Amino acid sequence: MRSGLAALALLALAGCASSPAYQRPALDMPAAWKVEAPWRVSAPKDDEVRGPWWRQFKDPQLDALQERALAANPTLSLASARLAQARATVDAASAGLFPQAAFNSRVSRLDISANRPLTNYNSNNFSTVQSDFALSFTVNYEADLWGRVRGTVNAAEATAQQSTADLESLRLLMTSDLAANYFNLRELDIELDVLSKSIQLQRKALELAAARYELGATSGLDLAQQQALLDSTLTQVEILRRQRDQFEHAIATLVGTPAPLFSLAPEASLRVAPDLPLGVPSDVLERRPDVASAERAMAAANAQIGVARAAYYPSIALSPTVGYDSRAISTLFNAPSLLWSLGVSLAQPIFDGGRIDANVQFARSGYEAALANYRRVVLTAMQEVEDGITSTQALDRALARAQQASASAEKVLKLATDRYEGGVTTYLEVITAQQALLTSQRQAAQLLGQRMVVSVFLVKALGGDWNR
């Protein structure tokens, strides 16, 4: 009866010491995103492996750059090493669940002092030279009644899972940064192509103004105005080339190549952003690796509470030993040389000046901090997705209007040139039309680049690609 009550008491104490039951906190999630046509709702399959999302943009050069970055980016290599460390920590912590066995041996020859301390003053001391041979097998085991070891293992496992999510988050961040830099660079290629065509047009207009000036049909003002416009456009070319170089250098670093050894040939072809399906907002909690990382951090912090609580209760260790000890190796394995010990050690804190209380409070505060960070990450995720959706819708409308404005500006320039050649208007009208065309074409190129970059960040905000 008494043994049964003692067992129940131990179970009750163990329950008090263990970590609180962990549950992912419930959050208020919207039922749907604010979307307009032609957005469609997806049904992501969370049990399927995510694919290389950048292939949806159908750009072979971007695909090749992403593969280089995944293979050679030093930041990814660092994160992979951190993950390996976290997994090794799990293995080390899990070893505490099992008995630890050790084999010990000792061989020595010693001279015992004749003046050594006495246990009996009636006995004489002698200086003795002798050998000592010993072999022993020792087992140590901590009885994890209060869940300290289990809590440590649970915390290590959650931390390793967090490291896995961090690696995925870093991979997503790196690939999205690479894609954003790439599309910014290609947008500048389109702008530079627009400027190049404008320069050709402006040079022809300069030749026309020069010819009319030589014939005396116009004053030198028309020629000077056209030359000033051409010089301004050439200045813009140099500015855009500098910006392009910076994006090219950033791409070089991401793919693990020194910037002086890396270059991308200009390519001014237009690109189309892929259609991205949207799931319900709660899908973001399962898709985004940074959300998963924050949730695993909470689980690890929760387990640490149990580890801290276990210090209130006695530490119980079993350490049996068996072996042989003899002064002569020939008699080492004789029966009289056998030695053994079997014991249990128990250590119970009585007074520690509040150290354990402080550690428990520290663990609880750590969990509260992890909870607050989790909520922050989720809210940021909701904001980023909604920003991506609204930006995409606005840019689609703006891009369509910019393309219409560019077409209209071409017509205006043709009419202004014809009117000038017919002597109906001044050359200022031609200059104004040229500037308006260049502005509208550059604006259309910039909006196209922004649309591609926003698509990249929307993919990132949704947590990457998934099979559909």
Map out the domains of the chain with their CATH numbers.
Answer: 20-97+146-313+354-461 (1.20.1600.10), 101-113+129-143+314-347 (2.20.200.10)
Residue 405, Cβ density class (10 Å: 0-12 exposed, 13-18 middle, ≥19 buried):
middle
Structure tokens, 202: 């402006």
Lowest mean pLDDT, pick from 43-47, 209-213, 243-247, 319-323: 43-47
- Region of residue 216 (phi > 0: left; psi between -120 and 50: alpha; otherwise: beta): left
More confident position, 202 or 8: 202
Integer distance in angstroms from the first to the last C-alpha of the chain? Answer: 62
Handedness of CA 24, 302, 22, 171 (dihedral sign): positive
Q: Is 90 exceeded by the pLDDT of residue 368?
A: yes
pLDDT at 23: 66
Mean pLDDT rounded to a whole number for the chain: 83
Structure tokens, 340: 């053994």
How many Cβ atoms from other residues are within 10 Å of residue 267's Cβ? 13
- Region of residue 310 (phi > 0: left; psi between -120 and 50: alpha; otherwise: beta): alpha
Using CA atoms, how far apart are residues 139 and 456, in angstroms rounded to an integer? 57
Q: Is 70 exceeded by the pLDDT of residue 155?
A: yes
Q: Quick one: DSSP state of residue 124?
A: P
- Region of residue 330 (phi > 0: left; psi between -120 and 50: alpha; otherwise: beta): alpha
Query: What predicted TM-score, i.e. pTM, was given to this entire model?
Result: 0.77
- DSSP bridge pairs for 359: none
Band of pLDDT at residue 114, cut at 50, 70 and 90? confident
How many residues make up the chain in this entry?
468
pLDDT at 175: 92
Geometric angle at alpha carbon 426, from 421 and 429, rounded to 5°: 95
Which stretches of 101-147 are DSSP H helices? none
CB pairs under 8 A, 24+ apart, for 262-265?
264/61, 264/185
Q: Is 90 exceeded by the pLDDT of residue 464?
A: no
Q: Residue 80: what residue type?
A: S
Structure tokens, 254: 């991401």
More confident position, 47 or 357: 357
Structure tokens, 308: 């801290």
Structure tokens, 290: 């940074």
Over residues 181-190, mean pLDDT: 94
Residue recorded with tokens 């010089």: 231
H or E stretch at 142: strand 128-143
Using CA atoms, how far apart are residues 46 and 273, in angstroms rounded to an integer? 24
Please check whether residue 457 is in contact with residue 180, taking contact to mean a CB–CB distance below 8 angstroms: yes
